[in-house]
């Protein structure tokens, strides 16, 4: 049993050293114009989701979810997030050169809770293009936007019309 344990420990140590050497020799693909491999996407996406779940507050949104809140959050989303994350029925403006690609909430929604959305918006995610909005937006504004993002694909018709009316009229 002792030999098995030592063999397993040695294998893990050799593998760890091999990975470090691979990285230190610059063999890791880092170009932003090349999509990440499936393994890289899986590992980093899993790590990000686990870190957000661990770090985000486990609490309900303190901002009441009213039509006015959703409209305010939608207008803020259009001004700050739409360019990379898209909106229903319209191509995004930016974000197409990001690897990994910015999540398209208008198409796929999100599995994050509102508290997790707030945490990501407030703190950003390293090396993804997602910057920390907490530098200029208050928690109240971020909670309002989180309420919109969580519900953006299931908004009442009159809320959608109010959020998108200025954009539709060319303003």
CATH of the domain at 161: 1.10.760.10
User: pTM of the predicted model, to two decimals?
Assistant: 0.83
Residue 89 placed within a domain: yes
Question: Quick check: is 73 in a domain?
Answer: yes
Structure confidence by residue, pLDDT tens digits, 77-94: 999 998 888 887 776 666
- Within-domain flag for 5: no
Q: Answer whether residue 163 is part of any domain.
A: yes
CA 34 – CA 169 distance, rounded (Å): 38
Is 76 domain-assigned? Answer: yes
User: 1 lies in a domain?
Assistant: no
Q: What does 97-165 look like in DSSP terms, one character per residue?
A: T-SSPPP-HHHH---S-HHHHHHHHHH-BTTTTB--GGGTS-HHHHHHHHHHHHHTTS--HHHHHHHHH
Is 37 contained in some domain? no
- Give the number of domains in the chain: 1
Answer yes or no: is 107 within a domain. Answer: yes
Q: Does residue 167 surpass a pLDDT of 60?
A: no
Q: Which domain holds residue 91?
A: 57-168
Measured from the Cβ of residue 128, the count of other Cβ atoms closer than 10 Å reads: 16
What percent of the chain has pLDDT above 90? 63
For residue range 125-145, list pLDDT tens digits in order.
Answer: 988 889 899 999 999 999 999
């Amino acid at each position: 049993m002792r030999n098995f344990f030592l063999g397993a420990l040695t294998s893990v140590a050799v593998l760890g050293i091999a990975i470090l050497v691979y990285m230190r020799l610059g063999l890791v693909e880092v170009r932003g114009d090349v999509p990440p491999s499936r393994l890289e996407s899986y590992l980093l996406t899993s790590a990000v989701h686990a870190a957000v779940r661990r770090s985000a507050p486990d609490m309900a949104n303190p901002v009441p979810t009213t039509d006015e809140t959703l409209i305010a959050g939608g207008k803020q989303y259009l001004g700050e997030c739409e360019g990379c994350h898209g909106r229903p029925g319209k191509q995004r403006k930016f974000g197409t050169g990001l690897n990994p690609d910015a999540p398209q909430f208008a198409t796929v929604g999100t599995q994050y809770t509102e508290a997790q959305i707030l945490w990501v918006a407030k703190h950003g995610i390293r090396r993804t293009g997602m910057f920390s909005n907490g530098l200029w937006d208050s928690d109240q504004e971020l909670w309002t936007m989180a309420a919109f993002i969580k519900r953006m694909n299931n908004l009442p018709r009159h809320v959608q019309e109010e959020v998108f009316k200025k954009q539709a009229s060319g303003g």
